[in-house]
Amino acid sequence: MENRLKIVVIGGGSSYTPELVEGFIKRAQELPLGELYLVDVEEGKHKLDIIYELTKRMIAKAGLDIQVYKTLNRREALVGADFVITQIRVGGLKCRIIDEKLPLKYNLIGQETNGAGGFAKALRTIPVILELCKDIEELAPHAWLINFTNPAGIITEAVARYSRVKVIGLCNVPIGMVNNVAKMLDVESNRISIDFAGLNHMVFGKEIYLDGDRITDKVLSKVSAGAYMSMNNIPDLDWSEDLIKALKLLPCPYHRYYFMTDKMLGEERKAVDEGIGVRGEQVQKIEQQLFELYGNPQLDIKPAELEKRGGAYYSEAAVSLISSIFNDKKVIHTVNVRNNKAIESLPEDVIVEVNAVVGRNGAVPMTTGKLPVQVNGLIQSIKSFELLTVEAAVQGSYYKALMALTINPLVASIDLAKQLLDEILQQNCNYLPQFNKVLQEKE
C-alpha cells in the first residue's frame, strides 16, 4: 500500500502477538500500518491460525484498514518490508524446558536467558536468525529489524557482527523497571526516567529522576525496604538491604540470579519438588489457557490473562520504538545497540543496553561514562561470555563454547561446563548442524 507501512512478525503465532497488535491499534494515528504479515514455521501453524483470526477480529473492532496475512513462507512475506519484528523460540517450549532442567541436574541455575539455559537457547537461535538476515538483506534491504528474541543481547550481537541488517534489540525489562518505580511512588510512569547502563538482562539504573529531579536515594531506600521490583517470570525475593546500599544502583530483576544465586536455586528446586515445574512447564499451562481464550470467536481484544505470561509492556516498547524511527521523533528509548563509546569500560563495537536517542537513522546511544567498579567485573565477564557464545554458534567451535560456559558466573567451572556442553550438544543435535563434526568425533 502506497505510503503505508509493511510490518512482518517472525514468530507470528506467539502468544505475545495480541500484545503487539494492541500496540499497533493504539498508535494507529501515528503509525500508518497497511500490511501486517504473521510468519511462522510448520510446527507453529495451529497457533498461527488462531492468532491470525484473533488479529483480524481485533483490527475489525478497531475499525482500521489494515490487511493481515499469515504465511509459513517468510521470503514471500519479507519482500519490501519496512520493519521486521523477531519473536521466535527455536525448538519451542519443549527445548526451553530442557534448557531449564539440565542445569538443575548439576545444582546450577536453570533459566531461559541466563547461565547454561540461555547459552543453549543462543546456540540454537543464532544460525536461524542469521539465515533470516540473509533474506532481509536480499528482499527488504531498507528494513529495520527489531529483535525481541531472547537472549536479546546475544542475538542482537550476532546480527550486528555477521549481517548488514539494521538492527535494534529490545527488551521489556527497562520499561518494566520504570513502571515499577512509578507504582512505588504512585505517579504516572511518564514522569519517571532512569539512566540505564549495562547489557540485556544485566542492566542497572545509575540515576533515577522524577520530573527531572534526582530521586535515586529515595527509590533505593524503598527497594531495600521491600518495595516491589520484579516481573511475572522471576520469583519476587526481597533484595538484601546491604546489597542495595553496597551497589548504590538499581538492579534489574534478573540480577537475583547472580546476587542471590543460592536462594534463586532454592526457589527453582522447590517449584520442581512441589510439582509446579520449571518456568517453561508453567508457561506451557498458561499458553494452553491463552490459546483456548484466543480461539473464542467472540474475543476481539487482548485478554488480561496475557499479563501472566511475562510480556507486560511489550507492545509499548516495540510499537513506540517503531513509531520513533518512522516519525523521526528523536526521543529516548532503552535499547540494545552498538556501544560507540556510550559505556567507556566496554569496546566500541559490542552490543550494550543503554538509553539512546531514536529517530529515522536508528538509535544513537547516550554517553554514560565508565561502569561503576562494583558491577564492572560482572558486566565484563557476561559480555565476554556473550561474545564467545556468538563465535561458538557461528563457527561450531567446541572450545569457544566450552570457554563461554566456563566463564559464565552461573557455571564457573571447567568440569561442570564440559559436562553441560556435551549434554547440550547431544540434546540439541537436531538444531545445531554447525556442531555435527564435533558430535561425530565424540562418538
- 294-340 pLDDT, tens digit per residue, is 999 999 998 888 776 666 677 788 999 999 999 999 999 999 999 99
The answer, yes or no, to whether residue 2 has pLDDT greater than 60, is: no
Domains of the chain, by residue range, sit at 373-435
Is omega for the bond preceding 174 within 30 degrees of 0, making it cis? Answer: no
**Are the C-beta atoms of residues 88 and 74 closer than 8 Å to each other?**
no
Amino acid 183: pLDDT: 93
- 37-93 pLDDT, tens digit per residue, is 999 999 999 999 999 999 999 999 999 999 999 999 999 999 999 999 999 999 999
- 192-229 pLDDT, tens digit per residue, is 999 999 999 999 999 999 999 999 999 999 999 988 87
> Residues, the chain, total?
443
Reported confidence tier of residue 443, pLDDT bands at 50, 70, 90: low
Amino acid 23: pLDDT: 93
The answer, yes or no, to whether residue 437 has pLDDT greater than 90, is: no
Share of residues in the chain with pLDDT > 90 (%): 90
Amino acid 438: pLDDT: 80
Amino acid 105: pLDDT: 96
The one-letter amino acid at 144: W
Residues involved in catalysis: 254
Strand order in the sheet with 362-365: 67-71, 33-39, 5-10, 83-86, 144-147, 166-169, 331-338, 351-359, 362-365
Q: Which residues contact 108 (CB under 8 A, 6 or more apart)?
A: 115, 116, 265, 410, 411, 416, 420
- 390-431 pLDDT, tens digit per residue, is 999 999 999 999 999 999 999 999 999 999 999 999 999 999
- 274-283 pLDDT, tens digit per residue, is 999 999 999 9
**Are the C-beta atoms of residues 119 and 154 closer than 8 Å to each other?**
no
